[in-house]
Structure 1
Amino acid sequence: TYACCSINQLSSLEASLALSKAVLIRCPSCADNFAHFHCITTCSPQQTKTIKVTKVTNVTGFDNITREGVVGYAAYLSTNFADASFQSCKNVRIPATGGLAIGTMCGRFGSRHCNPQRWYDFQGDSSNGLAPLDIDFHLIKPGDTEDLPEGIVPYSGNALKCNETTPSGGKACSCQDCQESCPKIPPPPLPPGPFQLLGMDGFLIISIILLCLLIFAFLFYLFVTYLRRNNNKKGLKKKDQKSHDVTQRVISPSEVTCADKNSQLAQAFLSSKFQIWGTVMATYPLTVLLLSAIIVVVLSAGIKNIELTTDPVELWSAPNSRARQEKAFHDTHFDPFFRTNQLILTAPGKEGYMYDSLLFGQHNLSGIISKDLIIELLELQKQIQNIEFWSKDLNRTATLKDVCFAPLNPSNASLTDCAVNSLPQYFQNSLENINAKVNMTELGVTKEVDWRDHLIYCFNSPLSFKDITDLGMSCMADYGAPVIPFLAVGGYQMAMEWEAEFLKIVQEYQKNPSTNFTLAYMAERSLEDEINRTTAEDIPIFMISYAVIFLYIAVALGEFTSWKRILVVDSKFLVGLGGILVVSCAVLSSLGFCSWVGIPSSLIIVQVVPFLVLAVGADNIFIFVLEYQRDVRRPGEKREEQIGRILGNVAPSMLLCSLSESICFFFGALSTMPAVKSFALYAAVAILLDFALQMTAFVALLSLDCRRQDSNRCELLCCIKVSRKRPTKPNEGFLLPFMKKYYAPALLNRYSRIIVMFVFIFMLCGSIFLLFHVKVGLDQELAMPKDSYMLKYFEYLYKYFKVGAPVYFVTKRGYNFTSVSGMNAVCSSVGCDPYSFTQKIQYATEYPELQQLDLIKMINSPMLIYAKDFGASRFMAYHTPLTNSQEFTGALMKARELAHNITMAMRQIQGTDPNFEVFPYTYVSLFSILPLSHTYSCDTFIHNDCVFSLPPARVTNVFYEQYVTIVPEGLVIISLCLLPTFVVCCLLLGLDLRSGLLNLLTIIMITVDTVGVMTLWGIDYNAVALINLVTAVGISVEFVSHMTRSFALSIKPTHVERAKEATAQMGSAVFAGVAMTNLPGILVLAFAKAQLIQIFFFRLNLVITLLGMAHGLIFLPVLLSYFGKYFTSVCL
């Protein structure tokens, strides 16, 4: 090939093209097209046909001879060649920045607004410091000869397509740099749509079918029962015609089964043992109380070692979980992520305006793009940067430079080295640069350019060290990096102290009435601070709740025999106080014991376990005390013997419930979630200790109170007696007669029972339908009180940030990156495998709505490139914007699916370890996904707001992994919790399978209905809800098991009469105990400030209590009246 150039000219051309080649080399055909035209215009023998010299100057060479040199010319080329060349280059990437190469070669227009004419104009603009001379490019359409200089023929050579090889042997561009090179891959399958049958919601159809089947089965049972009654009239004894009960008959001893005998023997054995125990406890009350107090003190002493866990990751993610292991691997091989703080400011009162820029034309700027606001922001930023605080670690006054992330000067950082990203950083935080202005001439027009022109340029070219205006200012921050959200780091304690001062300054600034900004802000400590603040503010609410419960117990346990005795003798104030103390001692002992053995605690344990134990304890207290009040001492029977006999009657029922609940929670401790595991262990131990103290200390307290009451002594002033003696007849109170005379007969008449069965079957089927529509997750806003500044921060975050969280694809050891096949399976440039590691990630970004990956922002490998065996490397992309835990869980699952696909493909490369693995690793904000965004990526020219920020906060995503498995894990945990409610009931009732099954069925219905109401009331299913559902199983035992046992042991002749007796006798105690003890305390929680408490403790516990009460006192008596065990006691 002949060139019309000297050797020096060729060398100069080669050096000039080297800069562009370095940027475009990823696509050989693009680089070839670029170089080809400049060779034509510079060295072609036919160059006079395509260019016209417009400007020359005298140049003195090395030989001291002066010659004319060309410094400017006009170049003419066809639009076909220009367009084809541009198309071959427009998608070429720069891996170091993640941007497009064309963006750095189009000046102020960037990649978004670049076109062939603007691209060539930048190549011919010597003011950009890259072009060697001025070239005026004219793009001529084919056949358009008008205004062409004489002899000029626009160059119309053949431009290579990006998917074509070059004449010199260069390969076609890779898929990442050339869309045409991408293989045709089918789009990923669409996510499965909603389950449907017959064009309707499939779960609705199934629920309707189930409803019809259950109602039909019930009606069929009634019909068969009716036929059996008519066919066996001779053997029937219709004792209660109104009840229309199942057949009743006399049972001969030969018909008594082994199970029936076991039931009676079990009851007789337990009653006799508890009677002896109760008599002993009542005989020596002071000794029992002393020993109980010693044991409680010893166990409670462990509280000094309590570890209160507040870190969400430690609470909800198991140490051996996949995400935790991946986090440990990442943090071992790479630097951990850092503490950050963020401000989001808007100026809604500022109106937008038009700005006619000399260089960029007219732009509609938002009101926030104003000099006074930028200067005001700069002043605020300087206040923050100048924060000083006393550091205990350094034993001196510390500043931001002691804790900040300084990427370019980490060893000896100054304030200007700290990575602070904000709008003033485009001016290097210099007031002089913001105020700078200069007159500039462009295309014959002279006009003033100022900070706005510089800012518009930097929005489009953030990596520029010098803008194209005559201001000549850099777009880089004062610490030497682009204004892109980096991360901040420092000593943990010092960082916490600095953040506290940061929040003070921002809050004081927010209160300033003269400020022009609407402010949203956060520090990494904000979440913990706000939760702690809310917890402290809600302590009085909890205290009031406990006070209301205590007052209720004290009043409800009283015997109202006469006005003279009600307040001073019969109020049971001290018994109520004693019951509360027993529960409190059980909780404290549980906290101490678990702390002794090293089980970590949490706020949810401190808040929920007392309520749970109080519900269980109060129920047992009411059953015991009410049974005593309704009893009459037998002739010759001592008070202690009476108490022992009463305990023998009720303690088996108390044992049944306490043992069921305790085992239930021990099974719940099999959960992999640390918070659920520790809660279950604390609750199980507390319930066991509560039962033990009720069998000892409370029996002793009741014995002492009975002595006082029998002596007619005042409750608080024991030395004072009243003249009126205690009546000898039993005291049934108000509730028992009401339940016996009105409630039970109304509930258990012929028509009411059928209506009740229909209603509860409908509730069950409706809840099964709603169960499949419950929302899984925990919206981060719920962790904050309603008056928290973090709520505005979250609102602004979702409104203004446009890019999702970064996701790293991390490779483990075992892959040879230095072999040809190994490199080709990873890289994405020329010659790489079209289905390589990074290329598969790129394919995923083409379907962001399905894969939830937005773009590959940066690909980096921090390890030595010449190492044969990498310890680890990582490649980064970005998620699409994610705003709630449901979206993030879906993104995590998609990222894992993609990583697994890549792992399987890379294991096929020769020499790869079979255990080699790629896994995704994402960083998000505390309790949320925190989208990352360049400060300049907001819609600055459209909206009247924008984001000014310090780096956004991130922690690892291990918190969100729980939502991937929380549904199946929750089903397993609840199923395990249900198991002991059946087994214990069967065993303690003497292998009574029928009663155990009915007991289990009712508890399952309460749990299912609870989830259904959660869906209706907008309560999400998450780990906190799971803890409450486990609690629901425990509390349901209190509502159900006492009633089931009372029915099973009743000696009434018919099912209906036995159901009436159980409802009146035990139902009244259950209602007064567990229901009315829970409700007042729960209602008080409605006034708590913390939304988590309002939703997951007030709403959910209210639902659990009301549903438990409805099923235990309405549905269960009706169910037992139809399907309960047959009466056999009379035969023994």
Structure 2
Amino acid sequence: MVENSGNILEKLSVRSKTSLENFFYRWGFTVATHPGKFVSICVLATVLFGSGIILIKEESRPDKLILPATAEYAVNTEWIRSKVAIPLRENYAGIVADNVLTPEVMKVLIDLHEKVKAVSTRDGKTWSDVCFRVPVTKIDLGEESLRRKRREANNSDASATISSSGSHNDWDSAFDDDFFKESTEEDVKPKQWTVYHSIPESLYCSIIDTLEEACLESNPVELWSYDKDVIYNLTQEEIIRVFNHEIISPVFGRKTKYKMELGGKIEKNEKGEIIKAESLLMTWDVKVDITQEMITDTQGLVGDAAGLEWEKEWIKSMKKFAKEMPSGIKLHFLNAACWGDILDETLIQEGIVLVCGFGIMFLYVAMMLGKPNMIEQRPFLTLAGLGSIAFSLIIGCGFCAFLSFPFMTLNRVMPFLILGIGIDDMFVIMQCFNNLDQHDSLKKTKMGTIPERIALTLKNAGVSITLTSLTDIAAFGVGCLSTIPSLRSFCLYAVVGISVLFIFQCTLFVACLAIDQKRLEERRNAFLFCIQYEEDKIPRSSTKNYDKGLIQMFFDKILSKYLLTKTSKVIVIISTVFLLASGIYGNVHLRQHSDALWFIPEDSYMVQFIRMFNTNYPKIGYPGLLVAHEMNWTESLPIFGELLEDLQESPHLHEIMQFYTSLKDFVMDVYEIDLSEQQLNEQQFSTYMGKFLWSPYGARYKYFFKLNDTFSCGESLPDIKTAIVPFHFKRFIDGSQEHLTAMNAIKSLVRNTSRDVTFNKNSGDEGRVFFWAQISIAWEVDEIIKAEMYKNLALSMGCVMLAILILLANLKMCLQCGICVIITVIDVSGFMHFWGLSIDSVACTILVLSVGLSVDYAAHICLAFMESRKGSKTERAQDALRTIGPAVFNGGFSTFLGVILLINAQTVAAFSFFKIFSLVVVFGLFHGLIFLPVLLSLFGSEPSLLEKKARHERISGGESNCSKLLEMHSLAEGGHLEEMASDQYCTDVKSGLKNGYPRS
């Protein structure tokens, strides 16, 4: 007699399990009785809720993907995007040869110039229509010229009409434009300011008024006025002489020297002249027309439609021209549009690879679900299972889109998660069905055979997939609270997708199983249902061992038999401890580092250009900006100027284009005022700054100031709304620590200045001084990603263990299942270090995904162990391996096959995804199928007293409950039952319960 006692957890376990079993029994019976109706409902629901997928707008802006909305970089980026539209977009090209100072290279450069001029959009927009134009400053300030101009001024009334709009499209390039740079700082002599000051203001402004404009293009062949005949007849001596002397550009009228554009290995002669260089840089600047609708590209930068389309055509032209290069000369190129262009191409290429991988996975799943003959193969059921996974993805994405949840780039990984969980559920259901099929008692009944067998199948499998689905939902549900937007979005979509998948696997797949089983029992061909075989023609592949399949035979005859011997247990425990120790070591040394280039193929033109630039220009680092908004310049100029001088001396910067030093020299020479010692009043500042910005020596800075009003030459400067100071970091080569040190040092300087300066009274909360650099998003991620990853993993595993405890209601089993999940995650993240990987947003997402997959592997074994009717712990562990082990292995291995072709991926990110996903599958299966059975055989819990009682009641009460089963059959058949001895039927049911249906 079973003792009637038990604790609260045992009562909860038995009641919840009994309730779930009863529900799934009724649900399975209903679905299998009317499979066509449920298939139709699932298809209709997919069309209805999945239609929202057309509303998805993928978010690819980096600041929206990987940083919290409250992060300093994210806030500043959004502010710049809305307040300060950069007025131009730069297109770069680089020529690489043994020596670029040769006639052959000059011929290539003039041909390249003409190619760019010929680039045209569908609307007929050419380079001259979209280029950023600048004044041609052919001004001669020599004494003879001055005397001539003064005489001309006496005969006419000159006035200044050229004005600067002061809007943000008047700003110059924020990076490396040196337009208006009349000479280097060393060449600026105090007397030059005096010469400028000695010119009558009306005369000077009349000269400004006559200036023409030219397209801003940096190409050395401008030094020969783009004259093709002249350039094609240049000698190397002429080229070397021009490159080594500062001359007046015949195109722009400014002093020009192209030494800075030369890179690579540089050789000089005895005179110090450069006679050989390996690379040469060129730029073309496209204007951003703010009067048109602004379009945000994949990098979060804005542009107008005409300019963006021209950039795409420029890329096509460069691709074609690069193939026409003479031997020994290479062309590299890059612009802002190339990121989206290459990313789209990469996604298509890797999408094809994944489709092929899914094809391999489909063949494996079909082979495992069926048997090698024309009747017992199950291609239709395989398609139905994969179709339910696809439908779940469509509904999940569509439903979230209806609710306006953001779709991030990393959500592209979600199919692998849903696929892994869905295939696992498929194999669990089929394993329970096949276990049931080994008993002949139910086959003896002639009515309701398929619905009853499927009801019993789902009665057992439903509890198992409910456990794994709820733990997955718990794992990803806590991820919805992450501060990283891409991880939060991924987890949100995953929760909805997993929920829908659970419903579809219990409905659509089960309904299709009933249809396919009916086909099989009617002896119809697996591919052509119209072909039906006679009774004596039924193929009999094998009715014994082979009928189980090789995987089942391996688990039955080898793994379950030899794994749980004393020797094997010792080996498994030692191996697990060694792997855990290695994983801990790897975690300690795991570094955090991210690089946007990891998403781009190594052989792409974008990566080739950046590699070329990094190799040939090793001192120039990433660009950045110092922004001052609504600052009170009369009070804060000395403080802000001190910041600029500190930045100029900073060991972390390569260069900074700051105006303060030139302004001090100008004011000292012209007005004899030392800005370091005397503060200007408002009138003085507006007057002096206005004259400075219209001078040949300050005009280069004019476009870095956004003003509240327009002002012309000769007028005082209106209030400054925003000022920008561009700079370049130096190149960092010592890993993340060096660039984090540099970023934090610059931030500290700027923050200290921001606290000391004063802002305009009418600015409200808008006044600010801050530093911004596009590359700093990766640096800030490096600073937070590791802590964020471990936090999310800890929360996910905590929620998973809580869910397991509630569902299993067994603390010991919960702990053992949780141990496997924890060790799996530690091993995966630790072995990332040994495989040369680092922590980034992709790795963080996949590691959270690993929690969901690894808990599936372990939970099925734990549940099977608890439900086993065998005797000792070792026997129950062996029984769990035999009954559910093949399904777990097939689920994990088939998921791995889906990504196996990524082993040849072109991008670092895709290859890293393959590596981490492989680690998840390998360690997940090892701990779920090898370590956990050993652990259960040693420390597994005994069957609870209430569980024994419930089993005793199910067996003893099976015959008395038989009338309920007959009633269900009667209702399913419309109230018409075939003649049958009910006592025989009840005897069959009771026999099945004693034998442990659906266990073997």
Cα deviation, residue 735, structure 1: 3.0
Cα deviation, residue 729, structure 1: 9.2
1:340 equivalent in structure 2? 90
Distance in 2 (CA, whole Å) between partners of 1:449 and 1:347 is: 18
Distance in 1 (CA, whole Å) between partners of 2:923 and 2:613 is: 39
Q: What is the SS of the residue equivalent to 1:1085?
A: helix
Distance in 1 (CA, whole Å) between partners of 2:116 and 2:489 is: 41
Structure 1 residue aligned with 2:35, among 263, 279, 285?
285
Question: Alpha-carbon deviations, 1:1069-1101, whole Å to 9, x = none?
Answer: 2112x22211322222324444432332x2221
Distance in 2 (CA, whole Å) between partners of 1:642 and 1:705 is: 13
Cα deviation, residue 648, structure 1: 0.9
2:878 equivalent in structure 1? 1060
Correspondences of 1:174-185 after superposition (within 5 Å): none
1:854 equivalent in structure 2? 654
2:698 equivalent in structure 1? none
Cα gap change, 1:995 to 1:869, in 2 (>3 Å):
farther
1:626 equivalent in structure 2? 431
Structure scoring higher RCO (CA < 8 A, sep ≥ 6) equals: 2
Cα deviation, residue 370, structure 1: 2.8
Structure 1 residue aligned with 2:101, among 357, 360, 369?
369
Are positions 1:1026 and 2:844 aligned together? yes
Are positions 1:500 and 2:312 aligned together? yes
Q: What is the SS of the residue equivalent to 2:245?
A: helix
Structure 2 residue aligned with 1:403, among 130, 133, 142?
130
Cα gap change, 1:311 to 1:437, in 2 (>3 Å):
closer
Question: Alpha-carbon deviations, 1:264-304, whole Å to 9, x = none?
Answer: 22222211121111111111111111212211111122222
Correspondences of 1:302-313 after superposition (within 5 Å): 302-313=52-63
Distance in 1 (CA, whole Å) between partners of 2:740 and 2:226 is: 40
Distance in 2 (CA, whole Å) between partners of 1:305 and 1:333 is: 28
Q: What is the SS of the residue equivalent to 1:718?
A: coil
Question: Alpha-carbon deviations, 1:353-384, whole Å to 9, x = none?
Answer: xxxxxxxxxxxxxx322344324312322321
Correspondences of 1:82-231 after superposition (within 5 Å): none
Specify the code of the residue in structure 1 equivalent to 2:221: P
Structure 1 residue aligned with 2:640, among 793, 818, 826?
826
User: Is the Cα–Cα contact under 8 Å of residues 317 and 959 in structure 1 kept in the other structure?
Assistant: no
2:970 equivalent in structure 1? none
User: Is the Cα–Cα contact under 8 Å of residues 820 and 927 in structure 2 kept in the other structure?
Assistant: yes
Distance in 1 (CA, whole Å) between partners of 2:821 and 2:534 is: 47
Cα gap change, 1:1053 to 1:430, in 2 (>3 Å):
same
Instruction: Using structure 2 for the length normalisation, give the TM-score.
Output: 0.71
Specify the code of the residue in structure 2 equivalent to 1:495: G
Cα gap change, 1:415 to 1:374, in 2 (>3 Å):
farther
Question: Alpha-carbon deviations, 1:621-661, whole Å to 9, x = none?
Answer: 11111211121353658321221122111111100111111
Specify the code of the residue in structure 2 equivalent to 1:878: H
Distance in 2 (CA, whole Å) between partners of 1:885 and 1:918 is: 28
Counting aligned pairs with the same residue, the percent is: 23
- More displaced, 289-298 or 854-863? 854-863
User: Is the Cα–Cα contact under 8 Å of residues 647 and 656 in structure 2 kept in the other structure?
Assistant: yes
Question: Alpha-carbon deviations, 1:496-528, whole Å to 9, x = none?
Answer: 332233233333332226355222112322222
Cα gap change, 1:415 to 1:904, in 2 (>3 Å):
closer
Q: What is the SS of the residue equivalent to 1:854?
A: strand
Structure 2 residue aligned with 1:700, among 489, 497, 511?
511
Distance in 1 (CA, whole Å) between partners of 2:600 and 2:721 is: 41
Cα gap change, 1:523 to 1:972, in 2 (>3 Å):
same
Cα gap change, 1:966 to 1:1021, in 2 (>3 Å):
same
User: Is the Cα–Cα contact under 8 Å of residues 798 and 883 in structure 1 kept in the other structure?
Assistant: no
Distance in 2 (CA, whole Å) between partners of 1:413 and 1:540 is: 59
Cα deviation, residue 451, structure 1: 5.0
Question: Alpha-carbon deviations, 1:119-144, whole Å to 9, x = none?
Answer: xxxxxxxxxxxxxxxxxxxxxxxxxx
Q: What is the SS of the residue equivalent to 1:457?
A: coil
User: Is the Cα–Cα contact under 8 Å of residues 796 and 848 in structure 2 kept in the other structure?
Assistant: yes
Cα deviation, residue 880, structure 1: 0.7
Structure 1 residue aligned with 2:385, among 575, 579, 583?
579
Correspondences of 1:604-619 after superposition (within 5 Å): 604-606=410-412, 608-619=413-424
Structure 1 residue aligned with 2:399, among 586, 593, 597?
593
Structure 2 residue aligned with 1:638, among 445, 448, 452?
448
Specify the code of the residue in structure 2 equivalent to 1:284: H
User: Is the Cα–Cα contact under 8 Å of residues 893 and 964 in structure 1 kept in the other structure?
Assistant: no
Cα deviation, residue 416, structure 1: 6.8
User: Is the Cα–Cα contact under 8 Å of residues 67 and 484 in structure 2 kept in the other structure?
Assistant: yes
User: Is the Cα–Cα contact under 8 Å of residues 375 and 520 in structure 2 kept in the other structure?
Assistant: yes
Specify the code of the residue in structure 2 equivalent to 1:920: F
Cα deviation, residue 421, structure 1: 1.0
Specify the code of the residue in structure 2 equivalent to 1:498: W
2:287 equivalent in structure 1? 489
Cα gap change, 1:1120 to 1:425, in 2 (>3 Å):
farther
User: Is the Cα–Cα contact under 8 Å of residues 808 and 874 in structure 1 kept in the other structure?
Assistant: yes
Correspondences of 1:440-589 after superposition (within 5 Å): 450-458=238-246, 465=248, 475-476=255-256, 487-490=285-288, 492-512=304-324, 514=326, 517-558=329-370, 560=371, 566-589=372-395
1:330 equivalent in structure 2? 80
1:684 equivalent in structure 2? 495
2:222 equivalent in structure 1? 425
Correspondences of 1:734-753 after superposition (within 5 Å): 734-753=550-569
Cα gap change, 1:292 to 1:1121, in 2 (>3 Å):
same
Distance in 1 (CA, whole Å) between partners of 2:734 and 2:116 is: 31
Cα gap change, 1:569 to 1:913, in 2 (>3 Å):
closer
Cα gap change, 1:333 to 1:431, in 2 (>3 Å):
same
Q: What is the SS of the residue equivalent to 2:657?
A: strand
User: Is the Cα–Cα contact under 8 Å of residues 121 and 309 in structure 2 kept in the other structure?
Assistant: yes
Distance in 2 (CA, whole Å) between partners of 1:415 and 1:522 is: 29
Question: Alpha-carbon deviations, 1:695-725, whole Å to 9, x = none?
Answer: 1121211112222223333333434133147
Cα gap change, 1:1076 to 1:892, in 2 (>3 Å):
same
Q: What is the SS of the residue equivalent to 2:942?
A: coil
Cα deviation, residue 759, structure 1: 1.7
Cα deviation, residue 611, structure 1: 2.2
Gaps of 5+ in 1: 1-250, 349-366, 392-396, 439-447, 459-463, 561-565, 828-835, 925-956
Distance in 2 (CA, whole Å) between partners of 1:975 and 1:616 is: 21
Cα gap change, 1:1082 to 1:507, in 2 (>3 Å):
closer
User: Is the Cα–Cα contact under 8 Å of residues 817 and 868 in structure 1 kept in the other structure?
Assistant: no
Cα deviation, residue 674, structure 1: 3.2
Q: What is the SS of the residue equivalent to 1:805?
A: strand
Structure 2 residue aligned with 1:810, among 606, 627, 631?
627
Structure 2 residue aligned with 1:1126, among 934, 942, 949?
942
Specify the code of the residue in structure 2 equivalent to 1:453: R
User: Is the Cα–Cα contact under 8 Å of residues 826 and 838 in structure 1 kept in the other structure?
Assistant: yes
Cα gap change, 1:868 to 1:717, in 2 (>3 Å):
closer
Cα deviation, residue 912, structure 1: 12
Instruction: Using structure 1 for the length normalisation, give the TM-score.
Output: 0.64
Are positions 1:763 and 2:613 aligned together? no
Question: Alpha-carbon deviations, 1:398-424, whole Å to 9, x = none?
Answer: 111221111338999999711111222
Distance in 2 (CA, whole Å) between partners of 1:825 and 1:783 is: 42
Correspondences of 1:1033-1112 after superposition (within 5 Å): 1033-1072=851-890, 1074-1096=891-913, 1098-1112=914-928
Aligned length: 780
Structure 2 residue aligned with 1:920, among 771, 780, 788?
771
Cα deviation, residue 326, structure 1: 0.8
1:785 equivalent in structure 2? 601
Give the aligned CA root-mean-square deviation in angstroms.
3.8
Distance in 2 (CA, whole Å) between partners of 1:685 and 1:716 is: 34
Q: What is the SS of the residue equivalent to 1:341?
A: strand
User: Is the Cα–Cα contact under 8 Å of residues 401 and 415 in structure 1 kept in the other structure?
Assistant: no
User: Is the Cα–Cα contact under 8 Å of residues 812 and 941 in structure 2 kept in the other structure?
Assistant: yes
Higher fraction of helix: 2
Distance in 1 (CA, whole Å) between partners of 2:745 and 2:477 is: 35
Distance in 2 (CA, whole Å) between partners of 1:1049 and 1:996 is: 15
- More displaced, 1078-1087 or 630-639? 630-639
Gaps of 5+ in 2: 137-168, 171-208, 263-280, 289-302, 660-700, 709-715, 950-1000
User: Is the Cα–Cα contact under 8 Å of residues 656 and 728 in structure 2 kept in the other structure?
Assistant: yes
